[in-house]
Structure 1
Amino acid sequence: MTARTDEGTLGYEQARDELIDVVRRLEAGGTTLEESLALWERGEELAKVCRRWLDGARARLDAALAERDEPEGRGNPGEAGDGADGGGERAEPGR
């Protein structure tokens, strides 16, 4: 299993794929109670990573839709706080 410190560097697909593997191993059985608990805990961590990525992606989509729906002529491109400088939110864990 991957160390807990990898949470911040895991991409969505990596976390999802590892989570699928954890679930398969738990469903297959044949592990000790200690191993099963460790798998469960890792699965919970991976699910949180996936949720953060999905929440970040949703926030980016919502922001893009809101920007698209704003009436034209409102504010100046590149003005502080409007996100036009490309420094807006990114779908990264913990952000």
Structure 2
Amino acid sequence: MIVRIMGEGQVKLDDSHFAELNKLDDELLEEMEKGDEPGFRRTLEALLDAVHRLGAPVEDDFLEPSELILPERDATIEEVRAMLSDDGLFPVI
């Protein structure tokens, strides 16, 4: 799956990593529901770092659309909330 992190480019991510990423996604949702800004910030950072760690960078001249778009690192809780699906940021596979 091609994942775009806003402001950071695209990463090719194997579906086998979604279980690990969904754990962070669930934690992020919980922190958003509680209004835990420091926890939200920490978990969003960890989630985006994990996408980079688990994925492979896509070349700048790659011209296929992203299948999933993630917020930028400095996104607010409200901005992330607007991007959520029923499953959170990551689909349940």
Q: Same fold (TM over 0.5)?
A: no
Larger Rg: 1
Which protein, 1 or 2, shows the higher relative CO under an 8 Å CA cutoff with sep ≥ 6?
Answer: 2
TM-score (norm 1): 0.32
